Amino acid sequence: MRKPLTILLFIFFCTALHAQDSPEILRLKQRASVAKNDTMLVIIYNNLAKEYSKTNFDSVQCYTHKCLSAAKRSGNTKALYLANNTAGAYHVMKGEHLDSAIAYLNEAIRYARIQKKPGDEAASLYNLSYVYLTLNLYDKSLKINIDLLKIREKSGDLSGMVNSYNGISIVLVKMHRYTEALVYSEKALKLAKKINADSNIMSSYINLGTAYMGLKRNNEAIDCFLKARPIAIKTGDMLGYCDVLTNLGAVYMEKGELQKAKNIYRELIATGILEQNDPYTSNILYYNFGEVFSKENNPDSAIFYYKKAMSYAAPVNNYEGIYTSYYGIAQAEFSRKNYHAAFQNLDKAYSYRDSLFTEEKDRTISELKIGYEVDKKEEENKILTKDGEVKDLRISQQYIAIISLGILLLVITIGGFYFYRQRRVIAQQREKLLEQKLLQMQLNPHFIFNSLQAIQDYIYSNNEKEASQYLSKFARLMRLTLENSRHENIVLKKEIEGLNNYLALQKLRMGSKLQYTIAVADDIDTGFTEIPPMLIQPFVENAVEHGIKMKDGEGTITVAFSTEPNLLVVKVTDDGPGFVPVTGTYSGHQSLSMQIISERLELFGKKKKVKPQLIITNLGKTQSSGTMVEIKIPNEF
């Protein structure tokens, strides 16, 4: 789900506008009433938009439009740069229509280059890099930051170089390239100390700490945040202060130092800044506070803060925040043995989870569309620039044929590029759809309903021990499934944990009819070996539903992990009635999971240039009955 930009970015974009120092609003309005030309009006309207950005967004929008209109009337290149940069920054501050922000900022960059003003170009590039960062277009954001660094190095702008180093570090952290992020943060800190810029020193320490957190070097992260804290207090930078406290609380939570985390969160709440301005960060803050009390086995306080988190998520339709809040309340109610309330809150949590999945799918499609439009606009700008150069060099009629041929070849090249890119987008969308189908199979509605019904039956029959076991395993399975679905690869340890929880739930339901074993070869490091998520569980479910369930008497399922040269081998075996060899089905039921996973393995194979294997064997030829599914995954995954 897309969240609006934080207040920190809001202030950043306000200050990043390349304009003169603005006087008071009334004085600016007086100057506007007597301005002699549109170029002067652009400067005045830009300053009015900047002043109103501190208090009134509606007025910012009004003066942004006036600024654009005056610039178009003037036809002045400097005015057109300033107006487009202002309009781009407005959309970024608003957190809406970021595709429009990209269009305005690219126009501003074009006008800055026409004027050959690297300072103006740098201001718009800086804004544009944060738009791409917000849209998760990390490669584009990184490229712009590197280009921006070159401009600032050439002009000798030391303060700008510090900002570029920190900007690159922020993007690298988002890309999980933490070691590289450390290098750039250390460069930023060294240069910031050299020019004695407190705010830049503070930002560099925060970015260093964030990179250390990614590397799980928590003590070094804490040291950086503690160094940044007094600088924020000294400079009166309350937003920086809040950023420091937020990170400190998170790292103390990670280390299990719960009392320190509580103290930090209380200090952060006392500032009141986040609660007044940022409901999304406030939701996370109170949810984390609830998690602290939950870890301390204090369900009453945990529920209080989960509900507080809910109060910030609900008004802005923050489905992720609502879902996590209800889920936290359900867990706390369960620990209080209030099973009926736990069931009600869990039911509400999953209703919002469905809304969250729909919103995330729409956001993914929107980001793909924006990414495509961004590339299209960049190519259009290149074409416009090329056309301008061609017109300047056109001396005689004989060049017309050469130029026409060049343009034709360019169009063909661009057409081929867009055809290739469109195929890539379609392939990415297909992969997303396959992942969603696999997730839906893992979160089978019948399985969820049966599990919740079983929990309800245990509660109504006052069978607290079984209810406790069932709800605990069910909650853990749901959390693992949702967490794993967000990653391209997961460690084998998490996959095994999920399979254990799933089979344990099925055994609670089926009793002695189901026996199962999960075996891992000694040469496999489950904490290091990675596999694509959502591959194995559907076959285990097939083994339960179409194997053991259809068998008279007890049945056994075995999941075995072993290795072959350059391969991880997974075997799911059951001693059920087997499948019909001609159709490749389990007891006459079409195995949809095999088809979906085969397609997904095919996509993985094309992406990684290796070929996974999926083999299904009818064991009736070698033993009385049963089925074995064998998946061979190359170690490159």
Count Cβ atoms within 10 A of the Cβ of residue 572 and give its class: 0-12 exposed, 13-18 middle, 19 or more buried.
buried
Examine the pLDDT at 277 and tell me if it is beyond 80. no
Q: Give the phi and the psi of residue 629 in degrees, each rounded to 5.
A: -105, 125
**DSSP percent split of the chain into helix, strand, coil, nearest 5:** 75, 10, 20
**Domain 1-135 bears CATH identifier 1.25.40:** yes
Summarize pLDDT for 224-240 with one digit per residue, the tens.
Answer: 999 999 998 898 888 78
Q: Give the phi and the psi of residue 304 in degrees, each rounded to 5.
A: -60, -45
Tell me the HSE value of 183 on the side-chain side, using a 13 A CA sphere: 5
Do 305 and 33 touch, CB atoms closer than 8 A?
Answer: no
**The pLDDT of residue 3:** 41
DSSP codes, 151-215: HHHHHT-HHHHHHHHHHHHHHHHHTT-HHHHHHHHHHHHHHHHHHT-HHHHHHHHHHHHHHHHHT
Domain boundaries, the chain: 1-135, 367-442, 445-634
Cα distance between residue 65 and residue 72, in whole Å: 11
Summarize pLDDT for 325-371 with one digit per residue, the tens.
Answer: 888 898 888 888 898 888 888 888 878 776 655 545 445 444 445 55
**The pLDDT of residue 12:** 37
Top CATH class of 445-634 equals alpha beta
pTM for the structure as a whole: 0.50
Cα distance between residue 461 and residue 463, in whole Å: 5
Examine the pLDDT at 412 and tell me if it is beyond 70. yes
Examine the pLDDT at 185 and tell me if it is beyond 90. yes
Summarize pLDDT for 597-607 with one digit per residue, the tens.
Answer: 777 677 666 66
Q: Which two tokens stand for residue 319?
A: 């489905």
Residue from 631, 135, 76, 121 nearest 368 by CA:
135
Do 637 and 631 touch, CB atoms closer than 8 A?
Answer: no
1-135 matches 445-634 in fold? no
**The pLDDT of residue 320:** 82
DSSP codes, 314-326: GGGT-HHHHHHHH
Which of 16-25, 95-104, 276-285 shows the lowest mean pLDDT across its residues? 16-25
Q: How far is CA 238 from CA 7, 188, 199, 272, 405, in A?
A: 11, 21, 12, 10, 60
In angstroms, the first-to-last Cα distance of the chain is 28
Cα distance between residue 53 and residue 59, in whole Å: 8
Q: Quick one: three-class SS letters along 342-391? A: HHHHHHHHHHHHHHHHHHHHHHHHHHHHHHHHHHHHHHHHHHHHHHHHHH
Residue type, 10: F
Count Cβ atoms within 10 A of the Cβ of residue 446 and give its class: 0-12 exposed, 13-18 middle, 19 or more buried.
exposed
**The pLDDT of residue 605:** 66
